[in-house]
Amino acid sequence: MTNKPDIPSDATPGEPARRRPSRWLPSLVWLIPIVAAIAGLSFAVNSWYARGPTIDITFRSAEGIEAGKTKVRYKDVDIGLVKSIELAKDRSHVIVEVELTSNASSFAVEDSRFWVVKPRIAASGVSGLGTLLSGAYIGVDAGRSQEREDSFTGLEVPPIVTADTPGKQFVLHAGDLGSLDIGSPVYFRRVNVGQVVAYDLDQDGKGVTVRVFVRSPYDSFVTTSTRFWHSSGVNLKVDADGLKLQTESISTVLLGGVSFIDSPHLPPGQPAQDDAVYQLAGNQDDALKVEDGPPTSAVMYFEQSVRGLSPGAPVDFRGVVIGAVRSIGIEFDRSTNSFRLPVVVDFYPSRLGLRRSGEPGALNADEERRLMDVLVRRGMRAQLRNGNLLTGQMYVAIDFFKGVPMPASMGRSQGLDEFPTIPGAFDELQGKLADIVDKIGKVPFDAIGRDLTAALAGMRETMASADKLVKRLDGQVAPEIVATMEDARKTLKAAEGTFSADAPMQQDLRRALQELMRTANSLRQLTDYLEENPQSLLRGKPKEER
């Protein structure tokens, strides 16, 4: 028996028979989508593993930020991308959603800082110029905290100092900010060693707190003996000592600045710790002045004008500043119905050579007051003096004066010791001038004027008489004088004729003199002969000689 293949019942006669394969195999057409699906799944898995945390950053505006384009960079390395930007419900700010990379998850900590990097011009200089071509991006300063955070408030300006910059920050307290700003330089011996990084008002509103950063290794120069002061701009001061002009450098004129140095009056200090607190003085003189300790206050009453005297004016003792004026006021004295000008001053006993409180042998308050009583009884007084004729600035001078009233001790007023005063030298001069004017006013100028008028009338009469006398002399005496002068002239002319060289008298006199000379010659010859022949006086002259 022969086996025949099974022929389907629906087969048409004459058509080939179709058979099902015994095993089904997939077609090569399906291989491509399968491979693509596997590759996509692998890419998704890799993207999921490479994906980092998502954080929200709040900015005032989204200027320069675009979703899907703006990147997050740290040291010019991309560590994230902006995914979306939303406006807050109260429309006061925008919320930027940023997706960080997996290797940047350490940036999602609470002390990290974010800001938009774009072209800026600030006190510290020009920054972000590279973004003119590449576009703005979000910069980040990595925090050091271990606490995770996913919501941040972005900075509106870039930080001056980042966390990875070596150095220390210090806190300075001042009465006002002056011309300081973020980025203002910090100087040590005129070398730029840091910058101002932040400032804010104190909680009580009575001052400001300034944070400065000093780079390493210069931060080691900040010690417990260091003093800080404003070196901002141009410090122009006009007081009783004259005009003073100080400036640190040209940059401080434009940007302001802070300077520091160790006080020469203190022993070397230890290096300061981070966030150490200091007082920011107004100028170098105030910062480096000797610590005077607590002052002793007193009030002085002046009855003269205090124009030119201002708070802070020096209190001087023989050229040494021992204090300063604290305040100036005005009071009405009902007992005398007059005004007085109280000037409150602060003395520093240490500047008078007295030991400060706490030192061995220091005087207490009662001993200081008794000492001042002794000095007052010896004639110590306060006086206003002009310290600068150009500016009119005045100061309080304390010295010993002679001939002043001697109170038994210092008084007491307004809860302070009352220090006695005397008028200023200028006021004394004004008083003396007033006395002179008063005495001049008492002179009887009217009577003197009448007497002077009478004297002038007598002088006029005298002058008239003198004029008459001159005319008489000119009419009577003058002709006689002229005749006398003519006679004298004739006499002189006759004498001149008599004594002239060719006058007869002169010729006769000349002949007489000649005869006299011949006679004298003969006598000389006779004398010589008698000396040689004295016997001739008895015998006569010999015949042979005759």
Domain-embedded: residue 367: yes
Q: Are residues 243 and 322 in the same domain?
A: no
Q: How far is CA 180 from CA 174, 252, 257, in A?
A: 11, 9, 6
Pairing of strands 137-141, 71-74: parallel
Domain-embedded: residue 100: yes
Tell which of 371, 403, 438 closes a domain.
Answer: 438
Q: Are residues 282 and 300 in the same domain?
A: no
Q: Are residues 432 and 315 in the same domain?
A: yes
Domain-embedded: residue 20: no
Choice among 104-108, 282-286, 296-300, 348-352 with the minimum mean pLDDT: 348-352
Say if residue 349 is exposed, middle or buried (CB neighbours under 10 Å; 0-12, 13-18, 19+): buried
Percentage of the chain beyond pLDDT 70 is 70
Q: Are residues 145 and 73 in the same domain?
A: yes
Chain centroid, CA 59 distance in Å: 42
The answer to whether residue 239 scores a pLDDT higher than 80 is: no
Q: Are residues 269 and 307 in the same domain?
A: no
Domain-embedded: residue 394: yes
Domain-embedded: residue 57: yes
Q: Are residues 80 and 131 in the same domain?
A: yes
Domain-embedded: residue 496: yes
Q: Are residues 178 and 111 in the same domain?
A: no
SS3 category, 381: strand
Apex 386 CA angle, 382 and 388, nearest 5: 145
Q: Are residues 418 and 308 in the same domain?
A: yes
Locate the DSSP E strands across 263-379: 277-281, 296-302, 314-317, 320-328, 331-333, 338-347
Q: Are residues 376 and 503 in the same domain?
A: no
Q: Are residues 310 and 426 in the same domain?
A: yes
3-state DSSP: the chain helix, strand, coil percent, rounded to 5? Answer: 30, 30, 40
Domain-embedded: residue 39: no
pLDDT at 543: 60
The answer to whether residue 169 scores a pLDDT higher than 70 is: yes
pTM: 0.55
Q: Is 31 left (phi over 0), alpha (psi -120 to 50) or beta?
A: alpha
Copy the structure tokens of residue 459.
């002088």
Query: Each residue of 338-395: pLDDT tens digit?
Result: 888 899 998 887 777 765 555 555 667 777 778 888 888 888 888 888 877 777 788 8
Local structure of residue 499 (DSSP, 8 states): T
Q: Are residues 422 and 322 in the same domain?
A: yes
Tell which of 153, 177, 210 closes a domain.
Answer: 153
Domain count, the chain: 4
Q: Are residues 434 and 318 in the same domain?
A: yes
Domain-embedded: residue 158: no
Range of the domain at 403: 296-438
Tell which of 125, 153, 181 closes a domain.
Answer: 153
pLDDT at 96: 93
The answer to whether residue 158 scores a pLDDT higher than 80 is: yes
